[in-house]
Amino acid sequence: MDSVVTIERFADQGRCIAHIDGRVVFVRFALPGEKDRITLDEPHDRQDRFWTGEVTEVLSPSPLRVKPAWKLAGPLADGGGVGGADLIHVSLQGQHEWKKSVIDQQMLRLGGVESDVPVHAAPGDDQRGGLHWRTRIEMIADENGMPSMRRRASHHRVPITDMPLATEELLGIARQENVWRGGFKPGSQIRLAVPQLHGSERRGNNYAVFADGKLKAGGPVLTETVPQVQIGSTPQTITYEVNARGFWQVHRCAPQMLVNQVLQDAQEQIDSVPRTMWDLYSGSGLFALALGLLAGRGGNGLFTVEGSAVAVRSARANLRHAGLGAAQAKCGSVERVLRSIPSRYLHPDLVVLDPSRAGAKRAVIHQIAEAGPRVVIYVSCNPTSLARDTATLIAQDYRPVDLQAFDLYPMTHHVETIATFVQTREARRRAA
Protein backbone atom coordinates (compact mmCIF):
# COMPACT_ATOMS: atom_id res chain seq x y z
CA MET A 1 0.00 0.00 0.00
CA ASP A 2 1.40 3.39 -1.07
CA SER A 3 0.59 6.73 0.52
CA VAL A 4 1.81 10.32 0.30
CA VAL A 5 2.65 11.69 3.73
CA THR A 6 4.19 14.73 5.35
CA ILE A 7 7.14 13.79 7.56
CA GLU A 8 6.79 15.44 10.95
CA ARG A 9 9.81 14.79 13.16
CA PHE A 10 12.80 12.61 13.99
CA ALA A 11 12.22 9.38 15.87
CA ASP A 12 14.50 6.65 17.21
CA GLN A 13 15.95 3.70 15.27
CA GLY A 14 16.66 5.75 12.15
CA ARG A 15 12.99 6.46 11.41
CA CYS A 16 10.83 9.56 11.21
CA ILE A 17 7.19 10.01 12.16
CA ALA A 18 4.23 10.62 9.86
CA HIS A 19 0.49 9.95 10.23
CA ILE A 20 -2.05 8.18 8.04
CA ASP A 21 -5.68 8.65 9.14
CA GLY A 22 -4.52 9.42 12.65
CA ARG A 23 -2.28 6.36 12.93
CA VAL A 24 1.44 6.82 13.61
CA VAL A 25 3.75 5.61 10.85
CA PHE A 26 7.50 5.16 11.41
CA VAL A 27 9.19 5.83 8.07
CA ARG A 28 12.67 4.78 6.98
CA PHE A 29 14.83 7.05 4.78
CA ALA A 30 12.67 10.10 5.50
CA LEU A 31 13.46 13.55 6.89
CA PRO A 32 11.27 16.06 8.76
CA GLY A 33 9.44 18.60 6.58
CA GLU A 34 9.44 16.41 3.49
CA LYS A 35 6.47 15.25 1.49
CA ASP A 36 7.25 11.66 0.53
CA ARG A 37 5.56 8.77 -1.16
CA ILE A 38 5.97 5.72 1.05
CA THR A 39 5.20 2.01 0.86
CA LEU A 40 3.87 0.47 4.05
CA ASP A 41 5.43 -2.76 5.29
CA GLU A 42 3.26 -5.85 5.09
CA PRO A 43 0.87 -6.61 6.65
CA HIS A 44 -0.43 -3.04 6.65
CA ASP A 45 -4.11 -3.74 7.37
CA ARG A 46 -3.67 -4.89 10.97
CA GLN A 47 -4.97 -2.82 13.86
CA ASP A 48 -1.60 -2.12 15.50
CA ARG A 49 -0.94 1.14 17.32
CA PHE A 50 1.51 2.09 14.57
CA TRP A 51 2.66 1.07 11.12
CA THR A 52 6.08 1.10 9.49
CA GLY A 53 7.09 1.97 5.96
CA GLU A 54 9.82 3.22 3.67
CA VAL A 55 10.24 6.13 1.27
CA THR A 56 9.86 5.20 -2.39
CA GLU A 57 9.79 8.72 -3.83
CA VAL A 58 10.85 12.08 -2.38
CA LEU A 59 8.37 14.72 -3.57
CA SER A 60 9.81 17.70 -1.65
CA PRO A 61 13.30 17.02 -0.23
CA SER A 62 14.68 18.33 3.02
CA PRO A 63 17.84 20.50 2.84
CA LEU A 64 19.44 17.83 5.06
CA ARG A 65 19.00 15.15 2.37
CA VAL A 66 22.04 13.99 0.37
CA LYS A 67 22.66 11.36 -2.27
CA PRO A 68 23.60 8.12 -0.48
CA ALA A 69 27.37 7.60 -0.56
CA TRP A 70 26.73 3.84 -0.37
CA LYS A 71 23.83 3.00 -2.68
CA LEU A 72 23.44 -0.59 -1.43
CA ALA A 73 22.58 0.72 2.03
CA GLY A 74 19.95 3.14 0.71
CA PRO A 75 16.22 2.57 0.12
CA LEU A 76 14.94 -0.61 -1.48
CA ALA A 77 13.28 1.44 -4.21
CA ASP A 78 16.72 2.69 -5.29
CA GLY A 79 18.37 -0.73 -5.32
CA GLY A 80 19.52 -0.66 -1.70
CA GLY A 81 18.22 -2.39 1.39
CA VAL A 82 21.28 -4.16 2.79
CA GLY A 83 21.20 -2.23 6.07
CA GLY A 84 24.09 -1.10 8.22
CA ALA A 85 23.78 2.59 7.33
CA ASP A 86 20.21 3.74 7.96
CA LEU A 87 21.16 7.46 7.87
CA ILE A 88 23.09 7.21 4.61
CA HIS A 89 20.63 9.69 3.06
CA VAL A 90 21.33 12.42 5.66
CA SER A 91 24.08 15.04 5.70
CA LEU A 92 26.55 14.81 8.59
CA GLN A 93 25.06 17.99 10.06
CA GLY A 94 21.61 16.43 9.78
CA GLN A 95 22.80 13.23 11.45
CA HIS A 96 24.06 15.26 14.42
CA GLU A 97 20.74 17.11 14.61
CA TRP A 98 18.86 13.79 14.47
CA LYS A 99 20.94 12.18 17.24
CA LYS A 100 20.73 15.25 19.45
CA SER A 101 16.95 15.32 18.99
CA VAL A 102 16.57 11.66 19.98
CA ILE A 103 18.79 12.01 23.06
CA ASP A 104 17.02 15.16 24.25
CA GLN A 105 13.58 13.60 23.63
CA GLN A 106 14.38 10.40 25.50
CA MET A 107 16.08 12.15 28.41
CA LEU A 108 12.99 14.33 28.88
CA ARG A 109 10.36 11.63 28.25
CA LEU A 110 11.96 8.78 30.20
CA GLY A 111 14.55 10.46 32.38
CA GLY A 112 12.60 13.55 33.41
CA VAL A 113 15.62 15.72 32.55
CA GLU A 114 15.77 18.65 30.16
CA SER A 115 18.98 18.45 28.15
CA ASP A 116 20.68 20.31 25.33
CA VAL A 117 23.33 17.77 24.49
CA PRO A 118 26.22 18.60 22.17
CA VAL A 119 27.09 15.92 19.60
CA HIS A 120 30.83 15.70 18.91
CA ALA A 121 32.21 14.38 15.64
CA ALA A 122 35.35 12.26 15.68
CA PRO A 123 38.50 13.83 14.20
CA GLY A 124 38.71 13.19 10.48
CA ASP A 125 35.13 12.04 10.00
CA ASP A 126 34.07 15.22 8.21
CA GLN A 127 36.99 14.91 5.78
CA ARG A 128 36.08 11.27 5.14
CA GLY A 129 32.43 12.17 4.57
CA GLY A 130 31.36 9.98 7.49
CA LEU A 131 32.90 6.88 5.88
CA HIS A 132 35.92 4.68 6.69
CA TRP A 133 35.60 4.49 10.47
CA ARG A 134 34.89 0.82 11.30
CA THR A 135 37.81 -1.31 12.54
CA ARG A 136 35.58 -4.40 12.63
CA ILE A 137 33.11 -5.74 10.07
CA GLU A 138 31.02 -8.90 9.77
CA MET A 139 29.42 -10.50 6.72
CA ILE A 140 27.88 -13.82 5.62
CA ALA A 141 29.04 -15.94 2.69
CA ASP A 142 26.29 -16.32 0.09
CA GLU A 143 25.45 -19.50 -1.84
CA ASN A 144 28.48 -18.84 -4.08
CA GLY A 145 30.86 -18.31 -1.18
CA MET A 146 31.05 -14.53 -1.67
CA PRO A 147 30.90 -12.01 1.20
CA SER A 148 27.34 -10.72 1.31
CA MET A 149 24.70 -8.82 3.25
CA ARG A 150 21.02 -9.72 3.37
CA ARG A 151 18.56 -7.43 1.64
CA ARG A 152 15.80 -6.29 4.00
CA ALA A 153 12.37 -7.90 3.69
CA SER A 154 13.79 -10.84 1.73
CA HIS A 155 16.09 -13.83 2.00
CA HIS A 156 18.19 -12.55 -0.88
CA ARG A 157 21.89 -12.09 -0.20
CA VAL A 158 23.68 -9.28 -2.02
CA PRO A 159 27.36 -10.03 -2.74
CA ILE A 160 29.62 -7.11 -1.85
CA THR A 161 33.13 -6.21 -2.96
CA ASP A 162 33.58 -3.17 -0.74
CA MET A 163 32.52 -1.84 2.65
CA PRO A 164 32.58 1.97 2.61
CA LEU A 165 32.22 2.24 6.40
CA ALA A 166 35.41 0.20 7.01
CA THR A 167 38.74 1.94 7.59
CA GLU A 168 41.23 2.15 4.77
CA GLU A 169 43.50 -0.17 6.79
CA LEU A 170 40.78 -2.81 7.06
CA LEU A 171 40.00 -2.57 3.35
CA GLY A 172 43.71 -3.01 2.64
CA ILE A 173 43.76 -6.23 4.67
CA ALA A 174 40.60 -7.43 2.89
CA ARG A 175 42.36 -6.99 -0.45
CA GLN A 176 45.60 -8.54 0.83
CA GLU A 177 43.77 -11.64 2.07
CA ASN A 178 41.52 -11.89 -1.03
CA VAL A 179 38.36 -11.57 1.03
CA TRP A 180 36.39 -9.97 -1.81
CA ARG A 181 37.24 -12.88 -4.12
CA GLY A 182 35.13 -15.21 -2.01
CA GLY A 183 35.87 -18.90 -1.70
CA PHE A 184 34.14 -19.18 1.69
CA LYS A 185 31.82 -22.00 2.68
CA PRO A 186 28.26 -20.86 1.90
CA GLY A 187 26.53 -19.56 5.01
CA SER A 188 29.75 -19.05 6.97
CA GLN A 189 30.18 -15.93 9.07
CA ILE A 190 33.07 -13.71 7.99
CA ARG A 191 34.69 -11.32 10.46
CA LEU A 192 37.57 -8.90 9.99
CA ALA A 193 39.22 -7.02 12.86
CA VAL A 194 42.01 -4.57 12.05
CA PRO A 195 43.33 -2.23 14.78
CA GLN A 196 43.96 1.39 13.90
CA LEU A 197 47.65 2.18 13.56
CA HIS A 198 49.16 5.32 15.09
CA GLY A 199 52.40 7.04 14.16
CA SER A 200 55.25 4.64 13.36
CA GLU A 201 53.41 1.44 14.37
CA ARG A 202 53.84 -1.48 11.98
CA ARG A 203 51.02 -3.81 10.99
CA GLY A 204 52.80 -7.17 10.99
CA ASN A 205 50.37 -9.87 12.09
CA ASN A 206 48.16 -7.41 13.97
CA TYR A 207 44.86 -8.18 12.27
CA ALA A 208 42.43 -11.08 12.06
CA VAL A 209 40.24 -12.68 9.40
CA PHE A 210 37.77 -15.28 10.67
CA ALA A 211 35.38 -17.64 8.90
CA ASP A 212 32.86 -19.38 11.16
CA GLY A 213 34.99 -18.54 14.19
CA LYS A 214 38.16 -20.08 12.74
CA LEU A 215 41.17 -17.85 12.20
CA LYS A 216 42.07 -17.73 8.49
CA ALA A 217 44.72 -14.99 8.57
CA GLY A 218 46.44 -12.71 11.06
CA GLY A 219 46.60 -13.42 14.78
CA PRO A 220 44.14 -14.44 17.52
CA VAL A 221 45.18 -11.60 19.85
CA LEU A 222 45.31 -8.00 18.66
CA THR A 223 47.26 -5.04 20.00
CA GLU A 224 45.15 -1.89 20.35
CA THR A 225 46.99 1.37 21.03
CA VAL A 226 45.23 4.41 22.48
CA PRO A 227 47.41 7.53 22.18
CA GLN A 228 47.21 10.89 23.95
CA VAL A 229 45.30 9.67 27.00
CA GLN A 230 45.23 12.59 29.43
CA ILE A 231 46.36 11.11 32.76
CA GLY A 232 46.50 14.19 34.97
CA SER A 233 48.58 16.77 33.10
CA THR A 234 50.61 14.18 31.18
CA PRO A 235 49.31 12.57 27.98
CA GLN A 236 50.19 8.89 27.76
CA THR A 237 49.85 6.06 25.28
CA ILE A 238 48.07 2.98 26.65
CA THR A 239 48.42 -0.41 24.98
CA TYR A 240 45.86 -3.22 25.24
CA GLU A 241 45.88 -6.85 24.17
CA VAL A 242 42.39 -7.85 22.96
CA ASN A 243 41.01 -11.19 21.80
CA ALA A 244 40.36 -10.79 18.08
CA ARG A 245 36.88 -12.28 18.44
CA GLY A 246 35.97 -10.12 21.43
CA PHE A 247 34.39 -6.71 21.80
CA TRP A 248 36.31 -3.49 21.22
CA GLN A 249 34.97 -0.03 20.43
CA VAL A 250 34.50 -0.18 16.67
CA HIS A 251 35.21 3.43 15.62
CA ARG A 252 38.91 4.11 14.99
CA CYS A 253 38.82 7.12 17.36
CA ALA A 254 36.34 5.85 19.94
CA PRO A 255 38.75 4.51 22.58
CA GLN A 256 40.70 7.74 22.83
CA MET A 257 37.64 10.01 22.81
CA LEU A 258 35.69 8.02 25.39
CA VAL A 259 38.59 7.41 27.77
CA ASN A 260 39.57 11.08 27.78
CA GLN A 261 36.00 12.20 28.44
CA VAL A 262 35.64 9.78 31.36
CA LEU A 263 38.96 10.93 32.81
CA GLN A 264 38.00 14.58 32.39
CA ASP A 265 34.65 14.09 34.11
CA ALA A 266 36.24 12.12 36.95
CA GLN A 267 38.91 14.74 37.60
CA GLU A 268 36.42 17.62 37.42
CA GLN A 269 34.02 16.06 39.92
CA ILE A 270 36.45 14.52 42.42
CA ASP A 271 38.84 16.92 44.13
CA SER A 272 41.39 14.33 45.21
CA VAL A 273 42.58 11.12 43.57
CA PRO A 274 39.84 8.48 44.07
CA ARG A 275 40.97 5.69 46.38
CA THR A 276 38.32 3.12 45.46
CA MET A 277 36.75 2.76 42.01
CA TRP A 278 34.40 0.37 40.26
CA ASP A 279 34.52 -0.25 36.52
CA LEU A 280 31.37 -2.21 35.63
CA TYR A 281 30.78 -3.98 32.31
CA SER A 282 34.50 -3.40 31.93
CA GLY A 283 35.30 -5.41 28.80
CA SER A 284 39.02 -5.82 28.18
CA GLY A 285 39.85 -2.93 30.50
CA LEU A 286 39.49 0.12 28.26
CA PHE A 287 38.53 2.46 31.12
CA ALA A 288 40.08 0.40 33.92
CA LEU A 289 43.66 0.93 32.77
CA ALA A 290 43.23 4.68 32.48
CA LEU A 291 41.49 4.92 35.87
CA GLY A 292 44.14 2.74 37.50
CA LEU A 293 46.95 4.83 36.07
CA LEU A 294 45.19 7.99 37.28
CA ALA A 295 44.86 6.69 40.84
CA GLY A 296 48.25 4.96 40.98
CA ARG A 297 49.10 2.57 43.87
CA GLY A 298 49.48 -0.33 41.42
CA GLY A 299 45.73 -0.58 40.92
CA ASN A 300 44.99 -1.05 44.60
CA GLY A 301 41.41 0.13 45.04
CA LEU A 302 40.29 -0.70 41.49
CA PHE A 303 37.49 -3.30 41.15
CA THR A 304 36.17 -4.38 37.74
CA VAL A 305 33.30 -6.64 36.66
CA GLU A 306 32.66 -8.13 33.22
CA GLY A 307 30.47 -11.00 32.04
CA SER A 308 32.69 -12.28 29.21
CA ALA A 309 35.39 -14.67 30.41
CA VAL A 310 37.46 -13.96 27.28
CA ALA A 311 37.37 -10.23 27.98
CA VAL A 312 38.22 -10.71 31.66
CA ARG A 313 41.30 -12.72 30.74
CA SER A 314 42.38 -9.86 28.47
CA ALA A 315 41.65 -7.28 31.17
CA ARG A 316 43.71 -9.13 33.77
CA ALA A 317 46.67 -9.37 31.40
CA ASN A 318 46.34 -5.70 30.45
CA LEU A 319 46.23 -4.63 34.10
CA ARG A 320 49.35 -6.65 34.90
CA HIS A 321 51.25 -5.28 31.92
CA ALA A 322 50.32 -1.73 32.96
CA GLY A 323 51.66 -2.30 36.48
CA LEU A 324 48.16 -2.48 37.95
CA GLY A 325 48.29 -6.06 39.15
CA ALA A 326 46.73 -5.17 42.52
CA ALA A 327 43.39 -4.49 40.81
CA GLN A 328 40.67 -7.14 41.09
CA ALA A 329 38.94 -8.12 37.84
CA LYS A 330 35.90 -10.33 38.44
CA CYS A 331 33.98 -12.37 35.87
CA GLY A 332 30.22 -12.70 36.11
CA SER A 333 26.98 -10.76 35.89
CA VAL A 334 27.33 -7.33 37.49
CA GLU A 335 24.26 -7.79 39.66
CA ARG A 336 25.48 -11.13 41.03
CA VAL A 337 29.08 -10.04 41.65
CA LEU A 338 28.01 -6.88 43.47
CA ARG A 339 26.03 -8.97 45.98
CA SER A 340 29.27 -10.33 47.45
CA ILE A 341 31.85 -7.66 46.79
CA PRO A 342 34.99 -7.74 49.01
CA SER A 343 34.65 -5.41 51.99
CA ARG A 344 37.51 -3.12 51.02
CA TYR A 345 35.68 -2.20 47.80
CA LEU A 346 32.26 -1.66 49.39
CA HIS A 347 32.22 2.13 49.22
CA PRO A 348 33.79 3.46 46.01
CA ASP A 349 34.47 7.13 45.39
CA LEU A 350 33.79 6.66 41.67
CA VAL A 351 31.76 4.20 39.60
CA VAL A 352 32.15 3.96 35.82
CA LEU A 353 29.73 1.72 33.94
CA ASP A 354 29.43 0.89 30.25
CA PRO A 355 26.53 -1.58 29.90
CA SER A 356 25.14 -3.14 26.75
CA ARG A 357 22.28 -1.53 24.82
CA ALA A 358 19.79 -2.90 27.36
CA GLY A 359 21.31 -0.65 30.05
CA ALA A 360 22.23 -1.40 33.65
CA LYS A 361 18.57 -1.60 34.80
CA ARG A 362 17.01 -0.91 38.16
CA ALA A 363 18.63 -3.62 40.32
CA VAL A 364 22.20 -2.66 39.41
CA ILE A 365 21.47 1.07 39.73
CA HIS A 366 20.15 0.42 43.24
CA GLN A 367 23.30 -1.56 44.10
CA ILE A 368 25.46 1.32 42.90
CA ALA A 369 23.45 3.87 44.89
CA GLU A 370 23.60 1.73 48.03
CA ALA A 371 27.41 1.75 47.77
CA GLY A 372 27.27 5.55 47.94
CA PRO A 373 29.84 6.71 45.35
CA ARG A 374 30.21 10.46 45.10
CA VAL A 375 30.40 10.28 41.29
CA VAL A 376 28.83 7.93 38.72
CA ILE A 377 29.92 8.11 35.08
CA TYR A 378 27.58 6.23 32.74
CA VAL A 379 28.78 5.38 29.21
CA SER A 380 25.90 4.36 26.94
CA CYS A 381 25.26 3.43 23.32
CA ASN A 382 21.47 3.65 23.72
CA PRO A 383 19.74 6.93 24.68
CA THR A 384 16.58 5.06 25.68
CA SER A 385 18.19 2.80 28.30
CA LEU A 386 20.36 5.69 29.51
CA ALA A 387 17.25 7.81 30.05
CA ARG A 388 15.49 5.05 32.01
CA ASP A 389 18.52 4.50 34.21
CA THR A 390 18.86 8.26 34.67
CA ALA A 391 15.38 8.36 36.20
CA THR A 392 16.40 5.56 38.58
CA LEU A 393 19.62 7.34 39.57
CA ILE A 394 17.71 10.57 40.23
CA ALA A 395 15.28 8.67 42.45
CA GLN A 396 18.32 7.36 44.34
CA ASP A 397 19.55 10.90 45.11
CA TYR A 398 21.95 11.42 42.22
CA ARG A 399 21.74 14.45 39.98
CA PRO A 400 23.07 14.73 36.42
CA VAL A 401 25.79 17.36 36.02
CA ASP A 402 27.05 16.68 32.49
CA LEU A 403 25.91 14.94 29.32
CA GLN A 404 28.02 14.60 26.17
CA ALA A 405 27.32 12.74 22.93
CA PHE A 406 29.79 11.38 20.41
CA ASP A 407 28.95 10.49 16.82
CA LEU A 408 31.00 7.30 16.77
CA TYR A 409 28.65 5.56 14.33
CA PRO A 410 28.33 7.90 11.32
CA MET A 411 25.71 6.97 8.74
CA THR A 412 23.77 5.01 11.38
CA HIS A 413 21.22 6.01 14.03
CA HIS A 414 23.53 4.83 16.83
CA VAL A 415 25.24 7.35 19.11
CA GLU A 416 27.50 7.10 22.16
CA THR A 417 26.80 9.20 25.27
CA ILE A 418 28.57 9.85 28.55
CA ALA A 419 26.46 11.10 31.47
CA THR A 420 27.98 12.16 34.78
CA PHE A 421 26.03 12.10 38.06
CA VAL A 422 26.98 13.31 41.53
CA GLN A 423 25.50 12.31 44.86
CA THR A 424 23.23 15.01 46.28
CA ARG A 425 24.22 16.86 49.46
CA GLU A 426 21.25 15.37 51.25
CA ALA A 427 22.41 11.85 50.44
CA ARG A 428 25.98 12.60 51.54
CA ARG A 429 24.67 14.09 54.79
CA ARG A 430 22.57 10.99 55.50
CA ALA A 431 25.54 8.71 54.76
CA ALA A 432 27.74 10.69 57.14
User: pLDDT per residue over 131-144, tens digit each?
Assistant: 999 999 999 999 99
Q: For residue 182, give the amino acid letter.
A: G
Beta strands in 285-356 (DSSP E): 302-306, 328-331, 350-353
User: Roughly how many angstroms between the first and final C-alpha of the chain, as a whole number?
Assistant: 64
Beta strands in 232-385 (DSSP E): 234-243, 277-280, 302-306, 328-331, 350-353, 375-380
Q: Say how many domains are in the chain.
A: 3
Beta strands in 219-368 (DSSP E): 221-231, 234-243, 277-280, 302-306, 328-331, 350-353
pLDDT grade, residue 45 (50/70/90)? low
User: Same domain for 247 and 151?
Assistant: no
Q: What tens digit of pLDDT does each residue of 202-234 get?
A: 999 999 999 999 999 999 999 999 999 999 788
12 pLDDT exceeds 60?
A: yes
The upper half-sphere exposure of residue 409, i.e. CA atoms within 13 Å in the direction of its Cβ, equals 21
335 pLDDT exceeds 80?
A: yes
**What is the distance between the alpha carbons of residues 57 and 267, in angstroms, rounded to a whole number?**
51
User: Same domain for 3 and 118?
Assistant: no
**What is the distance between the alpha carbons of residues 371 and 385, in angstroms, rounded to a whole number?**
22
Residue 36 is predicted with a pLDDT of 98
CB 229 within 8 A of CB 235: yes
Q: What is the CATH number for 389?
A: 3.40.50.150
User: Same domain for 301 and 361?
Assistant: yes
Percent of the chain exceeding pLDDT 90 equals: 90
Domain termination residue (choose one: 163, 190, 219):
219
User: Same domain for 229 and 215?
Assistant: no
User: Same domain for 284 and 368?
Assistant: yes
In sequence order, what are the beta bridge partners of 134? 166, 251
The upper half-sphere exposure of residue 411, i.e. CA atoms within 13 Å in the direction of its Cβ, equals 27
47 pLDDT exceeds 70?
A: no
User: Same domain for 357 and 317?
Assistant: yes
User: Same domain for 25 and 86?
Assistant: no
What is the span of the domain harbouring residue 173?
A: 134-219
Q: What tens digit of pLDDT does each residue of 51-86 get?
A: 999 999 999 999 999 999 999 999 999 999 999 999
User: Same domain for 93 and 172?
Assistant: no
User: Same domain for 183 and 328?
Assistant: no
Q: Which residues of 342-368 are buried (b: 16+ CB within 10 A; e: fewer)?
A: eeebeebbbbbbbbeeebbeeebbbbb
- Mean pLDDT score of the chain, rounded to an integer? 95
pLDDT grade, residue 430 (50/70/90)? low
314 pLDDT exceeds 60?
A: yes
Domain termination residue (choose one: 219, 240, 269):
219
Q: Residue 331 catalytic?
A: no
Domain termination residue (choose one: 44, 65, 86):
65
User: Same domain for 249 and 392?
Assistant: yes
Beta strands in 244-309 (DSSP E): 277-280, 302-306
User: Same domain for 359 and 427?
Assistant: yes
Q: Which entry of 16, 253, 331, 381 is annotated as an active-site residue?
A: 381
User: Same domain for 46 and 71?
Assistant: no
